Amino acid sequence: MTQERKLTGRHVLFIFLAFFITVTGVNALMVTFAVRSFSGEDVSSAYVKGLNYNQTLAQRDAEARSGYAIAAQAVRGADGATAIDAVVTHNGEHAGSGMKVVATMRHPTNAHFDRTVTLEPQGEGRFAASVPDLMAGQWDLVVTVQQGDDTLSEARTRQWLR
């Protein structure tokens, strides 16, 4: 014979408490993951950058008129490292030496993963570097050509790393 169990007030209380403890625990876990994985800002000092927006537009216009062009790409190698290649031209000719070329791999959603490297000259306006340990996914490749303190040109492209 089986004995029939009755649902008592104590059972209902335990079910009620277990439900809310589970919901609270999951919420605490999700908040912890959210806070640890998101820096909270995409652009540092966004207010100041907004105030300087006209200067930024003027700088971009001067870069466009300078005659410099950058063709850049990032490709995952067989060893797992990401090879960044950039070709810099000035008025259609390969750019000369004496310039510094910097590449930044920006993660679109988390600034903690951003990596910046200085590209080494390879000759004939070509610059290259290798970046280890980039996770797969979408990245923004930002390549900046500088001479002294002046920014000659900047190029941004969206790259997909496998």
Strands 82-90 and 126-131: antiparallel
Domain ranges of the chain: 10-39, 46-161
Q: Assign 65 a pLDDT band (cuts: 50, 70, 90).
A: confident
pLDDT tens per residue across span 38-53 = 766 666 677 888 888 9
- AA identity, residue 108: P
User: How far apart are the C-alpha atoms of 44 and 58, rounded to whole Å?
Assistant: 21
Distances (CA, A) of 151 to 1, 95, 144, 159: 88, 14, 7, 23
Q: Which CATH class is domain 46-161?
A: mainly beta
pLDDT tens per residue across span 23-39 = 999 999 999 998 887 76
**Reported pTM:** 0.69
